[in-house]
Amino acid sequence: MKKLILVASMLIAVYSCKKADAKSENNTEVTASSEAPKTSNKIVTLSGGITEIVSALGHESEIVGTDVTSTYPESLKATAKDLGHVRSMTIEPIMAVNPTLILASDKDINPELLGKIQSSGIQTEIFNQEYSVEGTKKLIEQVAKAIGNTDYQKLNNKIDEDMKQVQPIAKKPKVLFIYARGNNLMVAGKNTPMEKLIGLAGGENAINDFEDFKPLTPEAVVKANPDVLFFFTSGLQGAGGNEGVLKMPGVSQTNAGKNKNIIAMDGGLVSSFGPRLGEAVAGLNKLLIESAK
């Protein structure tokens, strides 16, 4: 009887040790019943794409602060603090939410903020974001590993599946993306997320003589002579809809203006280059095909 009790005690002790060993670094406990590892991280995400990745991996509840571009999922509005835009953000709002992990893209973040984040003592990961399918898949893998989650391949597989819906376009339409916010009108040049998205969707960026974004001018619109004008949905609404766009100086002289080829998509979807990239590309591809009819 004493031997049986001794054996049972030893088995309980071994089981307890194995359970304790299931906890890995970053306070992660792997459980068979959960979709994502449970962690005690308090995460600040400073990129819409990174925010989407963390959420899609099942860690949305750990996000305590985001940047202004993090508009998806909408449920984050009720649980995570909006810290502003990384171009003008300061360190104080970030420190106020007491994060244990900061995840950011190397794009747009102001150097002063980056320096203060890196000297704060808080665990920080700065990712090089490439605006391509492979770059996005690489980012998903890197973010997943940073938060202690290895179950990221399903997100990359979803991108591949969505990209299969993209249809070839015989004659590439020239697409001009216009960022409209209030009286601020900007057009996308080379090496912007919008240029890359347009290319993936089978179109051609209408402006190739400068990089980044520049203010919209009538001369630039006429010179670019786009076949399609592309807006964020919110931007098109703010510009007065299709009628308002057609009244913009120079637009009526372009192929897009003459044919009233104006399209719009959700800004968070098309600009984040996150897990929904394939969905964004396929959606834009469909709109470009329809506009050519």
Q: Is the pLDDT of residue 236 over 80?
A: yes
Identical fold for domains 43-159 and 174-291, yes or no, is yes
Q: Which of 15, 66, 64 is nearest to 40 (CA)?
A: 64
At residue 263, the 3 state secondary structure works out as strand
CA distances from 210 to 90, 97, 231 (A): 30, 39, 19
- In single-letter form, the type of residue at position 248 comes to M
pLDDT given at position 63:
98
Mean pLDDT of the chain: 89
Superfamily of structural domain 43-159 = Nitrogenase molybdenum iron protein domain (3.40.50.1980)
Contacts of 103 (CB under 8 A, 6+ apart): 43, 44, 45, 46, 47, 50, 54, 124, 125, 127, 143, 146, 147
What's the mean pLDDT in 212-237?
Answer: 96
Who has greater pLDDT, 174 or 5?
174
The 10s digit of each residue's pLDDT in 270-284 is 999 999 999 999 999
CA distances from 203 to 130, 170, 178, 186 (A): 19, 10, 15, 19
Superfamily of structural domain 174-291 = Nitrogenase molybdenum iron protein domain (3.40.50.1980)
The 10s digit of each residue's pLDDT in 6-19 is 333 433 343 343 33
Q: How far is the C-alpha of 104 from the C-alpha of 155, rounded, in Å? A: 19
End-to-end CA distance of the chain: 86
The 10s digit of each residue's pLDDT in 48-86 is 999 999 999 999 999 999 999 999 999 999 999 999 999
pLDDT given at position 211:
92
pLDDT given at position 39:
66
CA angle 243, 254, 289 (to 5 degrees): 80
pLDDT given at position 34:
41
The 10s digit of each residue's pLDDT in 105-159 is 998 899 999 999 999 999 999 999 999 999 999 999 999 999 999 999 999 999 9
What's the mean pLDDT in 151-178?
Answer: 97
What residue ranges do the domains of the chain occupy?
43-159, 174-291
Phi/psi of residue 64, nearest 5 degrees:
-110, -15
